[in-house]
């Protein structure tokens, strides 16, 4: 499936009525600076990535994609909006994604999906702190929220839900985000 087919399918999904039938989960993984060559599922026999490999074998693996602005904020905004950085305004890190941009999570919510964001947001501009993003348009269509604005603490970081009170994460960050993502999937 190429980018055009994927975006077309996502947009078409918004035209379909929300059915009571079971639908697949749609999970986007946004690891920073992860090259395709670092994954076993992309052909690197030396890369030991069993979880990524299993996700790739059981889901849809997009092999012909590119982040034309391969830094954190622009790459995330490109994925969420389907627009080039020059069109969505996210041409560098530490900018805020415009609240008027239509995002894939907004389209999925209109199609009856429950949406959630877990992890480092880094689309709200400002300082690189584990800051609070209030519920509403700055969350770009995500209903469930367990995230921080930007943190690279890796150990003992904090995250936020729907209140500005930080919640300590007392484990390795990647494990904590995984636990929160599984919590969300279990309630969806």
| Residues labelled catalytic | 72, 122
The span from the first CA to the last CA of the chain, in angstroms, equals 26
Q: Which two tokens stand for residue 106?
A: 């907004």
- The answer to whether residues 75 and 82 touch, using CB atoms and an 8 Å cutoff, is no
CA–CA gap between residue 117 and residue 161 (Å, rounded): 10
- The answer to whether residues 177 and 150 touch, using CB atoms and an 8 Å cutoff, is no
For the purposes of burial, counting CB atoms within 10 Å of the CB of 171, is it exposed (0-12), middle (13-18) or buried (19 or more)? middle
């Amino acid at each position: 499936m190429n980018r055009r087919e994927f975006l077309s399918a996502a947009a078409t999904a918004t035209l379909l009525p929300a059915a009571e039938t079971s639908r697949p989960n749609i999970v986007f993984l946004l690891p920073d600076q992860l090259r395709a060559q670092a994954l076993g599922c992309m052909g690197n026999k030396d890369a030991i990535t069993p979880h990524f490999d299993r996700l790739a074998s059981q889901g849809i693996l997009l092999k012909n994609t590119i982040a034309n602005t391969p830094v954190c904020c622009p790459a995330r905004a490109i994925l969420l909006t389907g627009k080039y950085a020059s069109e969505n305004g996210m041409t560098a890190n530490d900018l805020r994604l415009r609240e008027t941009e239509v995002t894939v999570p907004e389209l999925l919510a209109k199609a009856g999906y429950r949406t959630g964001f877990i992890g480092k947001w880094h689309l709200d501009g400002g300082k690189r702190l584990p800051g609070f993003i209030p519920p509403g348009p700055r969350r770009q269509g995500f209903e469930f929220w367990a995230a921080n604005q930007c943190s690279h603490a890796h150990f003992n970081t904090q995250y936020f839900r729907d209140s500005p009170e930080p919640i300590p994460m007392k484990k390795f960050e990647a494990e904590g985000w995984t636990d929160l993502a599984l919590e969300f999937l279990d309630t969806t």
